[in-house]
Amino acid sequence: MADQDSLFDLKAADAAAFLARETPDEAQREVMRLCEALIFAATEPLSEDEMLKRLPQGAALAPALAYLKAEYVSRGVNLVRVGKKWMFRTAPDLAWALQREQQEPRKLSRAAMETLAIIAYHQPATRAEIEDIRGVALSKGTMDVLLETGWVRLRGRRRAPGRPVTYGTTENFLLHFGLEQISDLPGLDELKAAGLFDGRLPKGFGVPQPRDDAGLLEDEEPLGEEPLNEAFASDLPEE
């Protein structure tokens, strides 16, 4: 059987070919049925650890999910992975049939979008690091908006003078932007192809490989109970 991670990224044509040459045995089929029922009944994305708790001891979860995802690739709902959690989602090409009129959500300001992008690509990032990259002060209002959307979270504190708070993205960020993992964010070549970079780029210019470790890094420590004491600029319009 192919590498599990590559199977989780199967497209429709590849999934059909995979299922034509790979047939789950009776035990795998039963695990698939159990996973399907658990994910369907869950009210929110279901983690692999939660599924393992409910499966028979020794059950092979990864191949069962790979088979199951392949079977759902061409259906009206798809099985998708967000980090280490799974959920059923309407097939993207059928979204038009399920649209309803609703209030237009508030758009993020340019400052908020820039800050969100910096956090996504550079996390864990502190306020000072965000300001250094943007070249302007970060207002409290901008960060408050990102925290309220649920797309940004407080990770911990940097092991550095002042112990500044570190920020990272959330599972809701992945869900909203249709990403399975933070590394699915576009790289430099993809951004160029989309026309987001015009003209000649500075020598050595690059886009960092984004990462979002669930646990704290070596240079981070838990938030603790002390006040945040983050010094933000006043809520004047940002450049």
What's the one-letter identity of residue 73?
Answer: V
pLDDT at 24: 76
Query: pLDDT class for 3, splitting at 50, 70, 90?
Result: very low
CATH architecture group of domain 4-95: Orthogonal Bundle (1.10)
Query: pLDDT class for 49, splitting at 50, 70, 90?
Result: very high
Mutual angle of helices 61-72 and 12-21, in 10-degree steps: 120
Q: Which of 63-72, 113-122, 203-212 has the highest mean pLDDT?
A: 113-122
Question: What's the rounded Cα separation, in Å, for the pair 34 and 11?
Answer: 24
Place of tokens 């392949």: 70
**Region 47-69 average pLDDT:** 89
Peptide bond into 124 cis (omega under 30): yes
Strands 152-158 and 220-221: antiparallel
Fold of 110-221: Arc Repressor Mutant, subunit A (1.10.10)
Query: pLDDT class for 173, splitting at 50, 70, 90?
Result: very high
Question: What's the rounded Cα separation, in Å, for the pair 172 and 120?
Answer: 13
11: pLDDT strictly greater than 60: no
Which residues of the chain does CATH 1.10.10.10 include?
4-95, 110-221
Question: What's the rounded Cα separation, in Å, for the pair 108 and 238?
Answer: 13
Which of 79-83, 129-133, 199-203 is least confident?
A: 199-203
Query: pLDDT class for 124, splitting at 50, 70, 90?
Result: very high
Among 33, 23, 22, smallest CA distance to 59 is for: 33
Q: Report pLDDT digits (tens) over 17-33.
A: 666 566 778 888 899 99
User: What is the reported pTM?
Assistant: 0.68
